[in-house]
Amino acid sequence: MDFKDLDPVLHSQLRLAIMSILISVEEAEFTLLKEKTNATAGNLSVQINKLRDAAYITVVKQFKENYPQTICKITATGQKAFSDYVASIQSYLHAGKRK
């Protein structure tokens, strides 16, 4: 039985949480991600940048009513990476059931 390597970018609790949110919505504002993940603004920013650097998400910074707004969207690369990561985890979970 060969175990698939887990994507080190996604194998972080906060980055995985961000991707899990973004996989189910078209886009998410920084404030929503912060609220849903209970992360600090600083830590969330660092993890978003790591996902952006891996081309898993795009980040758009703009202003809305004179307030800065950061919007994150998952990319096709990110969707594939997430799907592959989930498949890898499932292979680990089912490893003991195979003969």
What would the pLDDT profile of 76-96 be if each residue is shown by its tens digit?
A: 999 999 999 999 998 888 876
Strands 28-29 and 57-64, sheet pairing: unpaired
For residue 46, the model assigns a pLDDT of 97
| Architecture per CATH, 13-82 | Orthogonal Bundle (1.10)
Tokens 């970018």 identify what position? 9
The answer for residues whose C-beta is within 8 angstroms of residue 74's C-beta and 6 or more apart is 19, 22, 23, 56, 57, 82
What's the chain's length in residues? 99
Nearest to 89 by CA among 6, 1, 2: 6
Q: State the pTM of this model.
A: 0.89
Helix (H) or strand (E) holding 69: strand 67-74
- Summarised one tens digit per residue, pLDDT across range 25-79 is 989 999 999 999 999 999 999 999 999 999 999 999 999 888 889 999 999 999 9
Count the Cβ atoms, other than its own, within 10 Å of residue 23.
13
Nearest to 30 by CA among 46, 54, 12: 46
